[in-house]
Structure 1
Amino acid sequence: MGFARAVLAARQAVRAVLAELDPGTSVLVACSGGSDSLAVALAVAAEAEPAAVLPRAVTIDHGILPGSAERAAELVEVLERHMPARSIRIDPSGAEGPEGSARTERYRAIAGEARRVGGPALVLLGHTLDDQAETVLMGLGRGSGPRSIAGMRPRGLLPGTDDVPFARPFLALTRVALQDALRGWGASWWEDPSNRADGPWRAADGRPLRRAAVRDRALPALSEALGLDVRGPLARTASLLQDDLDYIDGAADAALAGARAGEGLALEALRPLHAAIRTRVLRAWLLGLGARAGELTGWHVAAVDRLLDGETGKGIDVPGLRVARTRDCLVPVVE
């Protein structure tokens, strides 16, 4: 894709999102300075006036890599040539490990800024077709069911919130295409070393962060083995699954409401359900009780499902909590 075509593709993708907004709506670009999110910012800058929206930007300083505060300040200076912008410092040292804690705190900070500048503002995220392929492959590896294989949604509510909307305009565009767009704009971007498998961030056991390892090692190896670039097919798989799963999940939501018995679930309401619905009910129930989403797999849900026909008093540990079976219900165990 040539530079001019790449710029046009980026602008058209953002234009389609902004066209759905009322005039005067605030739009918040979450920008790391990497190629993907910087392309969102420049496309929004080009399309904001015709769409009559109010653009703003925020960058999150994780405070881990040397010089992060200086880089954040420099990025804010670049962004302010196009729209109001600010940097927010977070502390990613949480119980979820460096990757999970950084993600949680990053979204919390972005949500706070969206509420501050809008009612709240629509948050635009720079995830690409590459990111979608990585997400699908990671979901396959975890065995956590078809919802994880369906990947990232183009629109929704920011994780951890029930009021902050987001959109991902670039899920159909590759990272290379967006880098071409930035070259067309004459802009440079920052290559975050933590996005590389040999980067400075490591998992608790010393291995590379999962997404970085999938990006640098698993996807290239799979493409080599199959003789094709698997990113597009994986992203298409996600798109094909989303509508089907939305329908099934809607049925599961209704079944969950009907099965609730206090904090537990009534066995007589669960047993008649088809496995496709029942396992979704169990997963949603577990997540609602505080199970850790990034660690809860299909194996855990299946083990809880087997409690329906197990012995009274029998329980099982899932990431973040323990559940058990009484005579009539599945219940969380308070220790």
Structure 2
Amino acid sequence: MRPETPHILAVRHAVRDWLDRFPHDRLAVALSGGADSLALTAAAVAEAQSVRALVVDHRLQEGSAAVARSAAQCALELGCIEAEVLTVSVGTVGGMEAAARRARYDALDTARAGMPVLLGHTLDDQAETVLLGLSRGSGGRSIQGMRDYDDPWGRPLLKVRRDTTHRACVDLGVQPHQDPHNERSEFTRVRLRAEVLPLLDDVLGGGVAAALARTGEQLREDGDVLDHLAHQLAESAAVDDQLDVAVLQSAPPALRRRAIRVWLLRGGATSLTAEHLYGIDRLVSHWRGQGGVAVPGGTPEARLVTSRSRGRLILGLQVDDRYVDSREID
């Protein structure tokens, strides 16, 4: 890294602190060509022994290949030992934002060669993530935001403001790419960034992004403790891949629902919502002989259903209200 201005040093110190907590000699950096990932790449080169840049070309805009090549060249000039362009095909399921994200993470995971991948998410991104989670209304887990290390994804810049990374790029003399998608108001995150957070700052007197990020961090710490206790409760209640209702009934509702979630995920459930968990919790706390609760994770031929029988919660595939072994419907 060439000059050592306050903005450059702020990014470097964030990367250095991350490496102190999660030591790695070899790193990959997801480089979009934007200011956040460029500043991160420069800092990683200065702080780590070996850095490889991974540039994803989503092919969603005219000229995207040239943008990707330019970002890769910049990475080499900053000192990366290698810069690889990953060309992906973006589907349509869940909307363009979600589909692009899936394609990007799949490509990065395939190309990372066992290295952690650093992502340029900043404190501002964290605040937007917490707000988006709040809108879903699915409990504390949805507003915990992003972790600084969720193997293999590293996020060293979660306490660095977006303005700092932009100013670092100016100090470095590099020109970030301005993604036109970041100006499109049909994207919820763009409107949060351009309209909602500035309004909240105006109404509440500033500091909203930092407060949201701090709230997410506190909730993650609390959530880790509750998750640990929930795993213990799930183990205590487990009987032959089922859950003993009597054991669950003795636990506080919040802990009981977390234990049920642990058990469901182990059984193959996916994309669980608060509605699923509260519905299954009623099989424990308000049992009236009601039917089972379907959860995501089944097959085209059978639903994945949780029901109560003989004092236990049972999770299994169900065809026409009849539980079947998964081998029967292969």
| C-alpha distance after superposition, 1:40-72 (max 9, x if no partner) | 101112223xxxx21111011112222222211
- The aligned residue for residue 16 of structure 2 is 15
User: Are 2:50 and 1:54 equivalent residues in the alignment?
Assistant: yes
Identify the match of residue 131 of structure 1 among 125, 131, 145: 125
Q: Is the 8 A contact 1:142 1:297 kept in 2?
A: no
Q: Unaligned regions of 5+ residues in structure 2, if any?
A: 299-303, 320-330
Match in the other structure for 2:275:
299
2:40 is matched with 40
Aligned length: 306
**Structure 2 Cα separation of the partners of residues 332 and 210 of structure 1:** 37
* Code of the aligned partner of 2:83: A
Distance 1:21 1:279, change over 3 A: closer
Query: Which residue in the other structure is 1:326 paired with?
Result: 308
Matched residue SS, 1:334: strand
Cα contact 1:133–1:235 (8 A) shared by 2:
yes
Deviation at 1:285, TM superposition (A): 3.6
Alpha-carbon offset, residue 124 of structure 1: 1.1
1:143 aligns with 137
Cross-structure match for 1:179: 166
Give the Cα separation in 1 of the matches to 2:268 and 2:89: 22
Question: Is contact 1:313–1:324 with CA below 8 Å preserved after alignment?
Answer: no
Alpha-carbon contact 1:264-1:332 (below 8 Å) kept: no
Which residue of structure 2 lines up, in the alignment, with residue 68 of structure 1? Answer: 64
1:305 to 1:20, Cα distance in 2 relative to 1, 3 A: closer
Helix, strand or coil at the partner of 1:326: strand
Larger Rg: 2
Aligned partners of 1:30 and 1:37 also within 8 Å = yes
Secondary structure at the counterpart of residue 80 of structure 1: helix
The SS at the match of 2:217 is helix
Distance 1:72 1:288, change over 3 A: farther
Q: Hey, what does 2:91 align to over in structure 1?
A: 93
Q: Per-residue deviation at 1:185?
A: 0.6
Structure 2 CA distance for aligned equivalents of residues 176 and 135 of structure 1: 18
Aligned to 1:161: none
Q: Report the equivalent of 1:201.
A: none
- Please give the residue correspondences for 1:268-279 in structure 2 after superposition, counting only pairs within 5 Å: 268-279=246-257
Instruction: Determine the structure 1 residue equivalent to 2:328.
Output: none
The answer as to 2:292 corresponding to 1:315 is yes
How far does residue 100 in structure 1 lie from its aligned partner after superposition? Answer: 2.2
1:236 equivalent in structure 2? 214
1:254 and 1:63 map into 2 onto residues whose CA distance is 46
Residues 291, 318 of structure 1: 8 Å contact kept: yes
| AA of the residue aligned to 2:155 | R
Find the counterpart in structure 1 of residue 180 from structure 2.
193
8 Å CA contact 2:27–2:116 kept in 1: the answer is: yes
| CA distance 1:279–1:26, change in 2 (3 Å) | same
Q: In 1, Cα distance between the equivalents of 2:109 and 2:143?
A: 26
Q: Which has the higher contact order (CA 8 A, sep 6+)?
A: 1
Identity %: 37
Matched, 1:253 2:235: no
Look up the equivalent residue of 1:139 and give its one-letter code. Answer: G
TM-score by length of 2: 0.84
TM-superposed deviation, 1:167: 2.1
Q: For the aligned residues, what is the CA RMSD?
A: 2.4
Q: Secondary structure at the match of 1:173?
A: coil
In the alignment, the residues of structure 1 paired with residue 96 and residue 201 of structure 2 have an alpha-carbon distance, to the nearest angstrom, of 29
Mark the runs of 5 or more structure 1 residues left unpaired by the alignment.
158-164, 199-207
Question: Judging changes above 3 Å, is the alpha-carbon distance between structure 1 residues 229 and 17 closer, same or farther for their aligned structure 2 residues?
Answer: closer
CA distance in 2 between partners of 1:212 and 1:302 (Å): 32
User: CA distance change for structure 1 residues 220 and 262 in 2, over 3 Å: closer, same or farther?
Assistant: farther
Q: What are the within-5 Å matches in structure 2 for residues 145-164 of structure 1?
A: 145-157=139-151
Q: Given that residues 37 and 126 in structure 1 are in contact (C-alpha distance below 8 angstroms), is that contact kept between their aligned partners in structure 2?
A: yes
Change (3 A) 1:252 1:71: same
SS at match of 1:32: coil
SS at match of 1:99: helix
For the Cα contact (< 8 Å) 1:143–1:299, is it kept in 2? no
